[in-house]
Amino acid sequence: MAIVNSVLDLIGHTPLLRLNQLDTGPCELLLKLENQNPGGSIKDRVALAMINEAEQSGALKPGGTIIEATAGNTGLGLALIATQKGYPLILVVPDKMSREKILHLKALGVDIRLTRSDVVKGHPEYYQDYARRLAQDIPGSYYIDQFSNQANPQAHTATTAAELWQQTDGRIDAIVVGVGSGGTLGGLQHFFKSRSPETEFILADPQGSILADIVDHAEPKPPGSWLVEGIGEDFIPPLAQIDGVSRAYRVSDSEAFHTARELLRREGILAGSSTGTLLAAALHYCRAQTEPKRVVTFACDSGNKYLSKMFNDEWLSDQGLGLNHV
């Protein structure tokens, strides 16, 4: 690999790994290793695109404060890029964020505002409403708002989808994704709609999220709670294009954590809780097929951000999810 001049040049171009040690039924299951981005997650792509677009449009002025609401990985990506470009950053994060993510952000010098994870959109302590209020109160600030920022899905159309197309010679039967902001799903669908409209999109959703209900019944049940970080919502993200999903799988916290731990033991990949959700759904889909298919999903982030949680037997036991339950 050539010498690069900035850590930002290392974002993207992640490997695609064929999984050989897990039961994938008749299917070939490929894992895009987004945990190998320099900030440790797929959100590095989005963070770079959103900051670049804000600079180019003039919405973000030199020295301006960037503000965002995030469950973690978008914040880490923004912190990586803001640090390199010299912008102050304030992140509003739900209190269920892992300790490792918070320590990582603090080490980067980020101003972190913890808020409640047990409230819904419209409550003053809901993380997005809190962030929007901060941006209104702080002069010269810019609210990134990944949930409605078009640079978010565009990053995945231009980079993630294009890389997958090149790596697979344009042959993908199904892509399994989760939805947080909705940018990955929306951006990938935009790319594949014109090039491979027969490619299916499968939703991996934490139990408690309303999104699988939208796919299956068009109307959600009241939202619940879940421990998996970064995916699942209590509202429909505008960027997600949920109507393009052909089917959805609901994955419990226990199955997600078990699957992520199994990925580490069997394939040697240390990935996070959302990866466990995606992989569990992908395995269900693959095992249900009667004909061979090529299926792609993502190692969304690195499991080193969850060593104190889902890779910690004591934490699992405290949550009632001990190894005998997963």
Tell me, what CATH number does 117's domain have?
Answer: 3.40.50.1100
* pLDDT tens digits, one per residue of 230-285: 899 988 899 998 999 999 999 999 999 999 999 999 999 999 999 999 999 999 99
pTM for the structure as a whole:
0.93
- On whether residue 269 sits in a domain, the answer given is yes
Percentages helix, strand, coil for the chain, rounded to the nearest 5?
40, 15, 40
279 and 302 fall within a common domain: yes
**Boundary (domain end) residue, out of 81, 116, 143:** 143
Number of domains composing the chain:
2
Q: Are 67 and 141 spatial neighbours (Cβ–Cβ below 8 Å)? A: yes
- On whether residue 229 sits in a domain, the answer given is yes
Q: Are 248 and 211 spatial neighbours (Cβ–Cβ below 8 Å)? A: yes
Q: For residue 54, give the DSSP letter.
A: H
pLDDT of 325 higher than 50: no
Q: How sure is the predictor about 324, in pLDDT bands with cuts at 50, 70 and 90?
A: low
Tell me the residue range of the domain where 58 lies. 43-143
67 and 208 fall within a common domain: no
- On whether residue 1 sits in a domain, the answer given is no
Identify whether 305 is a catalytic site residue: no
* pLDDT tens digits, one per residue of 45-68: 999 999 999 999 999 999 999 999
Of 43, 293, 305, 309, the catalytic one is: 43
In whole angstroms, what is the distance from residue 112 CA to residue 100 CA?
A: 13
186 and 309 fall within a common domain: yes
